[in-house]
Amino acid sequence: MSAHLPSRSRLVHDALRSAGIPGEIVVLPDAASTAALAAAALGVEVGAIANSLVFWSDGEPLLVMTSGAHRVDTAALAARLGRERIARATVDQVREATGQPIGGVAPTGHPAPLVTVVDEALAAFPEIWAAGGTPHTVFPLTFDELVRLTGGTVLPVA
């Protein structure tokens, strides 16, 4: 039941159900706005955290779902995607593109679909965890579910 969830997380919950993804959104007592905090709160490896990072590239937002164990190499990723440049989005750009705050950006539940890249390293984990629309919410899913949910392109990002 999603009635207890924050409004942003209810949007994520509804998007998950529409996509046939059964993972339940978990509300954590403390914010898990970094991969390390989320991993510690959930008792999982930091690499199993699917960080949702919003970048700005060629005049549009780009969502990169990266393993919490990686840093995105923006120059290499831009070359792989055939883009001129990839830069971190501003706080305002993140909020406008996703409707969600930095530290809580989910892979879904946005005002409009985002071009998405999914880090191939996440495939190494049978279960991964992503933010649920706020810094206090997370949910589990599989790599295949993440790729299907986002319509993402699977690439190395580090």
pLDDT tens-digit map of 54-75: 999 999 999 999 999 999 999 9
Q: What is the pLDDT of residue 143?
A: 98
Q: What angle do CA 68, 42, 140 make, to 5 degrees?
A: 75
Handedness of CA 20, 95, 113, 34 (dihedral sign): negative
| Residue 91, burial from CB neighbour count under 10 angstroms (0-12, 13-18, 19+) | exposed
- Distances in Å between the Cα of 149 and the Cα atoms of 18, 60, 91 are 10, 20, 24
- pLDDT at 158 exceeding the cut of 80: yes
Assess whether pLDDT exceeds 90 at residue 113.
yes
Confidence of residue 33 (pLDDT cuts 50, 70, 90): confident
pLDDT at 3: 72
The predicted-structure confidence for 123-157, as pLDDT tens digits, reads as follows 999 999 999 999 999 999 999 999 999 999 999 99
Residue 1 pLDDT > 70, yes or no?
A: no
Q: Are 105 and 131 in contact (CB under 8 A)?
A: yes
